Amino acid sequence: KNEVEQSPQNLTAQEGEFITINCSYSVGISALHWLQQHPGGGIVSLFMLSSGKKKHGRLIATINIQEKHSSLHITASHPRDSAVYICAVRRRYSGGGADGLTFGKGTHLIIQP
């Protein structure tokens, strides 16, 4: 079982719909990231969370540390939101001195006009 699980894997929705992407993790973490990856491969960091909720424009990210769960919401979705959304965690205790991120497999989102 992956340490970071995302759902759904694929999501197609109509423009304007409210979108929710979920992320569950099984390790202790110090931070959780939501990232956006466009078809060319470049990655943009959307949020970094350690507790509570953050909002940026039409994007909202929440995290429940006790339940080891985070959600990314997109309000009034638009075709330009089409991308892969990736959840990644920084483990609280990392072996070997490395403290990079552990990633989920991503959610492929397509917003149709």
- Which of 35, 61, 83, 111 is the binder for other proteins (CB under 8 A)? 35
> In whole angstroms, what is the distance from residue 61 CA to residue 113 CA?
24
> In whole angstroms, what is the distance from residue 5 CA to residue 86 CA?
10
CA distance readout (Å), 34 to 27, 49, 73, 85: 17, 8, 11, 7
> In whole angstroms, what is the distance from residue 19 CA to residue 113 CA?
15
15 versus 99: smaller Cβ distance to other proteins: 99
Binding mask 73-112 for other proteins (x = CB under 8 A): -------------x-x-x-----xxxxxxxxxxx------
- Which of 44, 51, 55, 76 is the binder for other proteins (CB under 8 A)? 44
- In the complex, the residues that contact other proteins under the rule CB under 8 A are 2, 4, 30-31, 33, 35, 40-45, 48, 86, 88, 90, 96-106
